């Protein structure tokens, strides 16, 4: 009886770990991914900054490999710091080596210190933990809230 209970608890624990570590699908299985990516890429180029940032974030969440070059353009040329940070987040979530390298370079070369901090935090969180040393624990909170 004890062994059966122990096996059940172990199976339950393994199931919970598998569910927690599985990548969640942002898109429903019936979604037309190509149409969604196309519309998000159109929105990314919009002059409406809110729409552009939202599209960047969503492209990262769906891990759109088609968005890497347009997101890098936003990261390098957009005058809005929040849009550049959204592009950095998306590039880190997508995980392309070219895109993540661009984010790593933005940590060194972006003109805005908040964007540099956010880029470092996104790179640290989604690409390679231990790459950047945060001297102050609150730096992680600053990167998220701004």
Whether residue 96 lies inside any domain: the answer is: yes
Q: Give the pLDDT of residue 135.
A: 64
Q: Give the pLDDT of residue 44.
A: 97
Whether residue 10 lies inside any domain: the answer is: no
Whether residue 94 lies inside any domain: the answer is: yes
State how far the Cα of 91 lies from the Cα of 67, in Å rounded to an integer: 8
Whether residue 17 lies inside any domain: the answer is: no
- pLDDT (mean) for 17-31: 61
Whether residue 105 lies inside any domain: the answer is: yes
pLDDT value at 143 more than 60? no
State how far the Cα of 134 lies from the Cα of 118, in Å rounded to an integer: 11
Is the dihedral angle over the CA atoms 9, 11, 15, 18 positive or is it negative?
positive
Reported as a single tens digit per residue, the pLDDT across 85-141 is 999 999 999 999 999 999 999 999 999 999 999 999 999 999 998 888 766 655 555
Q: Give the pLDDT of residue 16.
A: 41
CATH number at residue 86: 1.25.10.10
What total number of domains does the chain contain?
1
pLDDT-derived band of residue 3, with 50, 70 and 90 as boundaries? low
State how far the Cα of 24 lies from the Cα of 32, in Å rounded to an integer: 17
Q: Give the pLDDT of residue 137.
A: 58
Whether residue 7 lies inside any domain: the answer is: no
pTM greater than 0.85 (yes/no)? no
Domain hosting 73: range is 32-145
Q: Give the pLDDT of residue 26.
A: 81
Whether residue 99 lies inside any domain: the answer is: yes
Whether residue 122 lies inside any domain: the answer is: yes
């Amino acid at each position: 009886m004890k062994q059966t209970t122990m096996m059940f608890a172990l199976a339950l624990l393994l199931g919970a770990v598998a569910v927690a570590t599985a990548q969640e699908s942002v898109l429903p299985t019936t979604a037309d991914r190509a149409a969604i990516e196309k519309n998000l890429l159109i929105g990314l180029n919009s002059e409406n900054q809110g729409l552009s940032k939202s599209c960047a974030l969503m492209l990262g969440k769906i891990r759109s490999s088609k968005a890497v070059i347009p997101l890098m353009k936003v990261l390098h040329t957009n005058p809005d710091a929040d849009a550049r940070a959204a592009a950095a987040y998306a590039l880190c979530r997508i995980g392309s080596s070219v895109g993540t390298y661009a984010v790593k370079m933005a940590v060194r070369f972006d003109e805005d210190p908040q964007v540099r901090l956010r880029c470092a935090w996104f790179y640290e969180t989604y690409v390679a933990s231990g790459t950047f040393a945060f001297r102050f624990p609150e730096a992680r909170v600053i990167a998220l809230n701004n």
